[in-house]
């Protein structure tokens, strides 16, 4: 005689398995989201934000403030990158260079991508309120500015400087979060970060020049060609070095600071040398090396020399 198990007994036995399966699925989607937006690349703007403490003569943050600032930077960038991936997923699917991203290849759904982006935005706002009321009330506006980047490349080739503005806000936001003000030296660093970001984003856009032209997306390479794009990028890098020199003079930095600026300038020149073949070929196989490796060195070296100058000279 076969025994029939009650339906609720079977459901209760299966509930933990279902919950575990849902948890594993959530963790899997988070891993895909984190890999897609490359959280580790938050390092690009972080050292410049840290330099605000030196150039703005800011008080050192408490451990709580430091952790909240770090959380704000990571979640703000995660929100911006996540929204970009969601809104651009059809373009990413059509572009051979970006077809391997998580949403186009089906490893992450648009709903999951939006959910993780929204969560990052909520955490950012909560962390901003924990820093100060001014930061908290400003946080939604900042998220709106970051989300607009995806739309800007559909409107104007000035999109590179818009992206630069988004990253350049990092040192300025740190100063305002801790003191409620942003000294001129910190503003100049923010301008420098804006110009630096625009310069390397122009180089990165060389890869998509033809695709952007075909899909009516705006960039310096697609509008003016590769040769002109290289010169515009060089001008951005030169202006960035000038802004950093002015920031040092205003803040009263010593010789070590200017050694750091000189090293940064040399790296930017080398970055341009790496991709100089794009003038003839339209793009360069060295763009990823110039974009990821060199730029990580730029930000870290700038902060190290800025800190050494302040505490050793």
Tell me, letter by letter, the H, E, C secondary structure of 39-99: HHHHHHCHHHHHHHHHHCCCCCCCHHHHHHHHHHHHHHHHHHHHHHHHHCHHHHHHCCCCC
* Number of domains forming the structure of the chain: 1
Over residues 285-293, the mean pLDDT reads 64
Q: How far, in Å, CA of 77 to CA of 45, rounded?
A: 10
Torsion, Cα of 113, 119, 120, 124 (10° steps) = 160
Range of the domain at 204: 43-312
11-20, 164-173, 280-289: least confidently modelled range: 11-20
Structure confidence at residue 61 as a pLDDT band (50, 70, 90): confident
pLDDT given at position 47:
86
- Domain membership flag for residue 8: no
- Domain membership flag for residue 145: yes
Instruction: Indicate if the pLDDT at residue 28 is higher than 90.
Output: no
Block residue for tokens 């000189």: 262
Q: How far, in Å, CA of 98 to CA of 185, rounded?
A: 38
In order of 42, 48, 86, 168, 274, the CA distances from 150 in angstroms are: 18, 24, 10, 17, 28
Torsion, Cα of 196, 273, 231, 219 (10° steps) = -60
How long, in residues, is the chain? Answer: 313
Instruction: Indicate if the pLDDT at residue 313 is higher than 80.
Output: no
- Per-residue model confidence as pLDDT tens digits over 79-112: 999 999 999 999 999 998 888 888 998 888 999 9
The distance from CA 259 to its chain's CA centroid, rounded to whole angstroms, is: 26
Block residue for tokens 């991508």: 113
The CATH number for 284's domain is 1.10.357.140
- Domain membership flag for residue 254: yes
- Per-residue model confidence as pLDDT tens digits over 126-149: 999 999 898 899 999 999 999 998
- Per-residue model confidence as pLDDT tens digits over 213-240: 999 999 999 999 988 999 999 999 999 9
- Domain membership flag for residue 30: no
Instruction: Indicate if the pLDDT at residue 75 is higher than 90.
Output: yes
- Domain membership flag for residue 31: no
pLDDT given at position 290:
61
**pTM, full prediction:** 0.85
Q: How far, in Å, CA of 40 to CA of 37, rounded?
A: 9
The answer to whether the CB of 169 falls within 8 A of the CB of 48 is no
Backbone torsion region of residue 244, taken as left when φ is above 0, otherwise alpha when ψ lies between -120 and 50, otherwise beta: alpha
- Domain membership flag for residue 89: yes
- Domain membership flag for residue 62: yes
- Domain membership flag for residue 58: yes
């Amino acid at each position: 005689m076969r025994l029939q198990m009650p339906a609720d007994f079977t459901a209760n036995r299966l509930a933990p398995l279902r919950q575990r399966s849902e948890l594993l699925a959530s963790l899997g989607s988070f891993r895909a989201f984190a890999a897609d937006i490359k959280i580790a690349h938050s390092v690009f703007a972080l050292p410049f934000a840290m330099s605000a403490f030196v150039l703005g003569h800011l008080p050192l943050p408490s451990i709580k403030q430091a952790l909240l600032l770090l959380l704000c930077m990571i979640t703000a960038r995660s929100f911006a990158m996540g929204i970009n991936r969601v809104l651009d997923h059809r373009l990413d699917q059509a572009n051979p260079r970006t077809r391997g991203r998580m949403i186009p290849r089906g490893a992450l759904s648009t709903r999951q991508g939006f959910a993780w982006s929204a969560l990052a935005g909520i955490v950012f706002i909560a962390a901003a309120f924990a820093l100060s009321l001014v930061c908290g009330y400003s946080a939604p506006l900042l998220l709106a500015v970051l989300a607009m980047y995806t739309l800007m490349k559909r409107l104007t080739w000035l999109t590179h400087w818009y992206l630069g503005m988004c990253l350049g806000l990092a040192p300025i936001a740190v100063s305002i979060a801790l003191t409620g003000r942003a000294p001129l030296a910190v503003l100049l660093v923010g301008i420098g970060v804006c110009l630096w970001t625009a310069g390397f984003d122009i180089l990165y856009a060389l890869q998509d020049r033809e695709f952007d032209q075909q899909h009516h997306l705006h960039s310096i390479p697609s509008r003016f060609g590769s040769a002109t794009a290289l010169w515009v990028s060089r001008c951005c890098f030169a202006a960035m070095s000038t802004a950093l020199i002015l920031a040092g003079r205003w803040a009263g930095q010593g010789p070590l600071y200017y050694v750091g600026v000189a090293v940064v300038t040399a790296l930017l020149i080398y970055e341009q040398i790496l991709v100089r073949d794009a003038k003839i070929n339209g793009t360069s196989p060295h763009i990823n090396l110039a974009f990821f490796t060199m730029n990580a060195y730029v930000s870290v070296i700038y902060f190290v020399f800025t800190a050494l100058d302040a505490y050793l000279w």
